[in-house]
Amino acid sequence: MSTKDRLIEGLQQKSVQVAVLGMGYVGLPLAVVFAEAGFKVIGVDPDSRKIEALNKGVSYIQDVPTEKVAKLVKSGHLKATMDFSTLKDVAAVSICVPTPLRKTGDPDMSYILSATEQLAKYMHPGMVVVLESTTYPGTTREILLPMLGDEKGLKVGEDWFLAFSPERVDPGREDWTTINTPKVMGGITPACSEVATAWYAGAIQTVHTVSSAEAAEMAKLLENTFRMINIGMVNELAIMCERLGVDVWEVIDAAASKPFGFMKFTPGPGLGGHCIPIDPLYLSWKMKALNYNARFIDLASEINTNMPRYVVGRVLDALNDRSRALKGSNVLVLGAAYKPDIDDIRESPALDVIGLLQQKGAQVQYHDPYISHLKTHDDQEMDSVTDLMKAVREADVVVIVTSHKGYDYPAILEAAKFVFDSRNALGKLGKDNPKVVRL
């Protein structure tokens, strides 16, 4: 029996150990899905707090219930460690480490490099490795292949197997989760695709196999670039509508009544989260290295990046119309998470809006039921106000940045002196209401 066939058999029978490197928003749900499918899973992460919590059966990710983790830890299907040497007994490894940007806007590959370096020490024949972290096309072949295979004298597609499979998790979403969202899989060789697909198909409902790792890397960037550009387009539409004196929300709803050929995107105070503002820049960075300028990405990025400044400018104008200066005004920012009903503040436009309001001399407070504490861009610590309605009554303006569903918007509107609604959270209540200005 070949190494490939033996590995596929072990994966199909779930008799081999699997590991997930990086137990964050992506890695923990994936580890849980593998464990629930019957694999023995080891989560490896250098963060001791995460490891301690998991081994106690406690989840720290909103979408993963603690009861689930506790059950899997108790049954021995899931364990966590900071010790990378456990990888010597593992046959399948999925890498889910962060891929942020550096301050300069270039890809920060340090987490992929350090995880790969650690894994390289324990590589052995009969392993399959899948990279899940979003990255530029070429990463799997240019970085992982030499470090894990060529430099160790292991022949890819024969002794070991390597593929890329982009994560598509949408935090807070309940209908499409890790288990039922189709997974794209692209191997370095056809044998790599076959082994990696056999592994994932044992836990995930649909695996869509493509012909190369690069096609899988690019598919992820297409998905996120598509969103980023459409959001940029609709943000510019909001700016144009304001100049024209047309209600952008009414225009979007009208266009969305077309049953085909249109997909609804809505404007807002800027992009947030770990994916949409960042991933397309991995592609444009790579293209620059090939002397090509990714113009759509650059343009959308410029418009989206400017949205917090645009929103603060509109708040300033609206206060001016009410004979007030922003300087010295009490501003309550409602919602700090990057999108509704989640506890994730990474890259949230709320941080930009708060910073810009403070620069203009406003006294800023915020409220978010999911984010009790935050650090501003200039490292200032802030706590969410505890008495929401008191803060609403005392604010000169309430700026809605994140439209959490749990807010009692009619009560907030009733109590507020004036609301700037950057998300159309108030819907019909906000239209033609003298107390409300909408984006």
Ligand X SMILES: NC(=O)c1ccc[n+]([C@@H]2O[C@H](COP(=O)([O-])OP(=O)(O)OC[C@H]3O[C@@H](n4cnc5c(N)ncnc54)[C@H](O)[C@@H]3O)[C@@H](O)[C@H]2O)c1
Residues noted as catalytic: 275
The Cα-based distances of 358 to 326, 333, 384, 401 in angstroms read 9, 12, 16, 15
CB of 153 to ligand X, least distance (A): 24
Q: Which is nearer to ligand X, 96 or 210 (CB)?
A: 96
Torsion angle of the four alpha carbons 245, 249, 255, 261, in this order, in degrees rounded to the nearest 10: 120
Tell me 10's DSSP state: H
Whichever of 73 and 119 has its CB closer to ligand X, that residue is: 119
Q: Which CB atom, from 166 or from 232, has the smaller least distance to ligand X?
A: 166
Q: Where along the sequence are the contacts to ligand X (CB under 6 A)?
A: 21-27, 44-47, 50, 96-99, 111, 114-115, 118, 132-134, 167-169, 171, 274-275
* Residue in the shown chain whose Cβ atom is closest to ligand X: 24
* DSSP one-letter string for 97-120: ----B-TTSSB--HHHHHHHHHHH
| Beta carbons within 8 Å of 400's beta carbon, 6+ residues apart | 334, 335, 419, 420, 421, 422, 423, 425, 426
* Nearest distance, CB of residue 393 and ligand X, angstroms: 36
Least gap, CB of 303 to ligand X (angstroms): 22
Q: How would you label 337-364 residue by residue, b for 16+ Cβ within 10 Å and e otherwise?
A: bbbbbbbbbbbbbbbbbbbbbbebebeb
Determine the length of the chain.
Answer: 439
Cβ proximity to ligand X: between 42 and 354 the closer is 42
Name the minimum Å distance from CB 24 to ligand X.
2
What's the closest the beta carbon of residue 133 comes to ligand X, in angstroms? 3
Shortest Cβ 180–ligand X spacing (Å): 16
Phi-psi region of 373 (alpha: psi -120 to 50; beta: other; left: phi over 0): beta
Burial class (CB in 10 A: 0-12, 13-18, 19+), 377: exposed
Q: Give whichever of 20 and 303 is closer to ligand X, judged by the CB atom.
A: 20
> Quick one: which H or E segment has residue 398?
strand 397-400
Q: Is the dihedral of CA 205, 41, 142, 100 positive or negative?
A: positive
